[in-house]
Amino acid sequence: MNANMNTSLNDDGMEGRLWEYIDGSGSLEERSVIEKLLADNQQWKEKYRELLELHQLVQVSSLEEPSMRFTKNVMEEIAKYHIAPATRTYIDKKIIRGIGIFFITLIVGFLIYGFSQINWQSSADNSLPFDVSKVDLGKVDFTKFFNNTYINIFMGINVVLGLMLLDRYLASKRKQLHREA
C-alpha cells in the first residue's frame, strides 16, 4: 500500500527522493522503499538511471582553475607592451589662439565703445574730464545694460568659459604637484 502511494508522487518528489538515495542520505526504511520502487516501477528506473548518469558526470568532471600566478602572468604580459601616453593637446593650439584673439578683440571693442561714450570736454578746474564727486552709482540704472537677452547669453558663456579655464589651470597645477611628489 505504501509503495502504491509513493508511485503517485509527482516528478519533483521522485527526483528529490532519488537524489537522497544516490547520495546515501536517506534512512534505511526509505532506502528499502526506493529499492523496491526501482525494482517494480519502470518510470522510477528510468529517472534513477538518468540521475545516476548525471551524478557520475558531475563526479568525474572537475572545474578548471587558473594557475596560482595567473594574475601575475597577465600583468607581466601587459607590461611588455609600450602603452602610448595620452596626447598632451587634443585641440590644435591655433584654434585656442584664435578663440583667445576673438575674446581679446571683443573686450577691446567694448572698451573702445565705452570710452567713446564719455564726454571728454574738460573744464579748467577739474583734472579729469568729468566730475567724480557728482557720480552716484546708486542712481545708475543697470537694467538698461543687462536687460538684453543677447548680453545675458554672452555673459553666461563667458562665465562658463572662465570656469573651464580655471579648472584647466588648477588641473595642470595638480599634475605638477603629483609629478614632484
Mean pLDDT in consecutive groups of 10 residues from the start of the chain, 181 residues: 46 81 84 88 90 84 79 87 69 84 92 79 58 72 74 88 92 88 72
Any residues with CB less than 8 A from the CB of 67 and at least 6 apart, and which? 73
Of 60, 82, 106, the residue at which a domain comes to its end is 60
Of 60, 81, 96, the residue at which a domain comes to its end is 60
Q: What pLDDT was estimated at residue 100?
A: 92
Q: What pLDDT was estimated at residue 7?
A: 45
| 104 Ramachandran zone, left/alpha/beta (phi>0; psi -120 to 50) | alpha
Q: Does residue 51 belong to any structural domain of this protein?
A: yes
Q: Does residue 21 belong to any structural domain of this protein?
A: yes
Return the amino acid letter for 92. D
User: Are residues 21 and 34 in contact, defined by beta-carbon separation less than 8 angstroms?
Assistant: yes
Q: What pLDDT was estimated at residue 11?
A: 65
Give the C-alpha separation, 7 to 90, whole Å.
76
User: Are residues 46 and 36 in contact, defined by beta-carbon separation less than 8 angstroms?
Assistant: no
> How many independent structural domains does the chain possess?
2
Of 38, 60, 82, the residue at which a domain comes to its end is 60
What residue numbers bound the domain in which 26 lies? 2-60
**Around Cβ 2, how many Cβ atoms within 10 Å?**
9
Q: Does residue 39 belong to any structural domain of this protein?
A: yes
Q: Does residue 107 belong to any structural domain of this protein?
A: no
Residues constituting the chain? 181
Q: Does residue 161 belong to any structural domain of this protein?
A: yes
User: Are residues 10 and 27 in contact, defined by beta-carbon separation less than 8 angstroms?
Assistant: no
